[in-house]
A and B are shown apart, each in its own frame.
Chain A
Amino acid sequence: MQVKIKYFAACHEIFGRDEEDMELPEGAIVRDILQRLEAEVPEFAEYYDVMQMSVNWEYATPDTQLSAGDEVALIPPVTGGQDV
């Protein structure tokens, strides 16, 4: 099955692309995407702990189940700003 991956901010820079279509086996989860990206760019692992993912515009976890046509986004920490 095919899913669309979108890369933002620092993730966009790390991978040098803003989106792509990725072919995954049926029953794939978000973690499968992360592992594939980590294999491509090892330093991605550093971001992994502070990053969030979304599936179809909702925050997701590495265990979130994927379906064909899903839109997955890599979301590095969002804009800072203090409560002052």
Chain B
Amino acid sequence: MFKITKEVITAEDVIRAVQTGDAGAIVTFLGTVRNNTEGREVSYLEYEAYAPMAENKMAEIAQEIAEKWGLDRVATIHRVGRLEIGEVSVAVAVASPHRKDGFEACHYAMNRLKQIVPIWKREVWADDEEEWANPDPIYFEPKS
């Protein structure tokens, strides 16, 4: 399951999508809205996605995980629109026969998501200003 949604996300949504009898572990990650960025108070966040491309890129990441770890049960959901402090913005679940691969693959999925999935976060500050979050210099790949 690879989905952009306006609805509230729960861990159950991604867990259900990857549950399988041969899994010995399901590793999940939830990204939540933090109340500050480097100490500056955040009021809420707005996420925007290029939905069809984002869902395709999520599927591409799952394909990479299948190639690297042989795991074929990955689910990713990202929410868009206005999100309040503490709400879940992204959920990833990876089912794996053993936990080590599951942890690694889930970590990998989130790193890749930030690299190649077209989703933008706008921070709205408590002092009423707003701006698009800065790109992460580690992950942003300049165009060739």
Contacts of B119 in A (CB 8 A): 78-79
Given known A8-B118, A8-B120, A83-B111, contact A76–B142 (CB-CB < 8 A): no
Among the 9-residue stretches B8-16, B69-77, B91-99, B128-136, the one with 4 or more Cβ atoms under 8 Å from chain A is B128-136
A83 to B136 Cα, complex, angstroms: 10
Query: Is B100 in contact with chain A by the CB < 8 A criterion?
Result: no
Instruction: Count chain B residues whose beta carbon lies closer than 8 angstroms to a beta carbon of A.
Output: 29
Which stretch (A20-28, A35-43, A50-58) binds chain B?
A: A50-58
Does A66 touch B at the CB level, under 8 Å?
A: no
Q: Does B56 contact A (CB under 8 A)?
A: yes
In the assembled complex, the Cα of A9 lies from the Cα of B80 at a distance in Å of 13
Task: List B contacts of A61 (CB < 8 A).
Answer: 143-144
Chain B positions near chain A (C-beta within 8 angstroms): 31, 47-48, 50, 52-53, 56, 111, 114-122, 132-136, 138-144
